[in-house]
Amino acid sequence: MIKLRTNERVLLFILIFLNLALLSFSISSLSISYDEAKIYYESSGFLHNVITFSTRVFGQNDYALRLPFLFIHSLNTILIYKISKPMLRKQIDRMICATLYMYLPGVLASATVVNEAGFIIFLTLLFIFFEQNKMPLKGVFTLIATLFLSESFINLYIAVLLFGLYKKDKNCKISGVIFCLLWFYMQGIETYGKPKGHFIDALGVFAAVFSPLVFLCFIYSAYRIWIKEEKNLLWFISITAFFFALGLSMRQKLSLELFLPYCVIFMPLIVKVMLNSYRVRLPMFRTKHKIAAVLILSTLFLNSLASIFHTFLYLFLDKPQSHFAYKYDVAKELSDRLKKFGISSVKTSKELALRLKFYGISSGDEYELNKFKKQNCENKAIRIVKFKKMIDRYYICKIK
């Protein structure tokens, strides 16, 4: 289905391998979060089945927990490269596109954290690939699969309907209507809460996922295509999700992970618009564009570094708990220290107990683990230190 020429395949493989190596380094400093532990131990859905299968095969550790998301991330990069071919004729342009996509902060996060974003991106890109290559039946089967994965695919169904209306494509119009109706039948319509604006918060999340200047490129590219260029299915998918997210955020706080996967795949069109804007100008008039490119890539580079080498940010924080990755930290190191004390079970908070369970520390009544010293008890301090800076401290007390 997906064929690449040998030189393209080798180069793309090298780029993906380097990206996976950096992501593996990032995973080495992550612990299972409480939300991930709930999916692992208390859920019964798709993500639970994926991660429990992986840990059964490869062992109960952080790499096995996150391996499915690294794998789907690699497939998504290949698909991004493939669907960019009709939009980016030069191989170097497609390589730039795939590389930029891989290092978007939001994409890096989706490749290392237990979440459904990678699978949403995969099925969406697969559907676009089938549409580009005139494979309507495979496209319909892909849409059927989406009904059972995530409620967020309503973005895709509405985009397909709008694209069908724009292109006067009967198959897309019918598919869009049918799958919208099926979604409403299966999910229903739910609104909640008093009207309250979270518009600025939503923009902030989008800026963080893309990196601020790349997000401005996203808005510029979307607007330019809207007013001047031919609009394809990818444009409709990303813009539908973006406007839905912003529109609904004016009323209520949203789970933006339901919309972001459809926006990060806009990268081929961003690269197309930006490179076309650069190349239509004579060399003597490209200075401003070169400066802009350096600034955009520099901010993306810094944001990507912060995502991958997030542990080093503790050096610059007065309060480690304010670190964006703090909830994915501490548990693994804490379990290792407990095992060194010969402790295999503790009494602690529900959240921490579930996280420690993944690393072989069960709930028990002989020892109590707290953030503060317990009175009338000989407390042993456990300090979690990184780069000679204390990240957290717990006290272990023998109560029996």
Residue 352 has pLDDT above 70, yes or no: yes
The stretch 277-295 carries a mean pLDDT of 91
pTM value? Answer: 0.93
Task: Specify the range with the lowest mean pLDDT, choosing from 83-87, 103-107, 170-174, 372-376.
Answer: 372-376
Per-residue confidence (pLDDT) for residue 312, from 0 to 100 = 92
Does the structure show a pLDDT above 50 at 1? no
pLDDT at 256: 76
pLDDT in tens, 147-158: 999 899 999 999
What is the pLDDT, as a whole number, of residue 186? Answer: 86
Q: Is the pLDDT of residue 303 over 80?
A: yes
**Token pair for 11:** 């180069």
Q: Which of 74, 100, 59, 20 is nearest to 266 (CA)?
A: 100
pLDDT band at 7 (very low <50, low <70, confident <90, very high): confident
- The terminus-to-terminus CA distance of the chain in angstroms comes to 63
Residue 278: partners with Cβ closer than 8 Å, 6 or more residues away? 286, 289, 293
- Residue 30's pLDDT is 96
Residue 194 has pLDDT above 60, yes or no: no
The residue-averaged pLDDT of 308-322 equals: 91
Q: Which two tokens stand for residue 282?
A: 């004579």
pLDDT at 374: 78
Confidence at residue 6, expressed as pLDDT on a 0 to 100 scale:
66
The whole-number average pLDDT for the span 319-330 is: 92
Query: Per-residue confidence at 13, pLDDT binned at 50, 70, 90?
Result: very high
Edge to edge, the sheet with strand 389-398 lists 345-347, 362-370, 389-398, 379-386
Name the band, by pLDDT with cuts 50, 70 and 90, for residue 399: confident
Query: What pLDDT shows up at residue 188?
Result: 62
Region label for 342, one of left (φ > 0), alpha (ψ between -120 and 50) or beta (otherwise): left
Indicate the pLDDT class of residue 3, thresholds 50, 70 and 90.
low
Across the range 115-124, mean pLDDT stands at 97
pLDDT at residue number 195 = 54
Count Cβ atoms below 10 Å from residue 301 Cβ, excluding itself. Answer: 12
- 271: pLDDT strictly greater than 60: yes
Proportion of the chain above pLDDT 90, given as a percent: 78
223-227 average pLDDT score: 96
Q: What is the pLDDT of residue 106?
A: 96
Average pLDDT, the chain: 92
- The reported pLDDT for the residue numbered 273 is 97
- In the block, residue with structure tokens 């299915």: 233
- Calculate mean pLDDT across residues 240-245: 94
- Indicate the range of 60-69, 333-342, 380-389 predicted with least confidence: 380-389
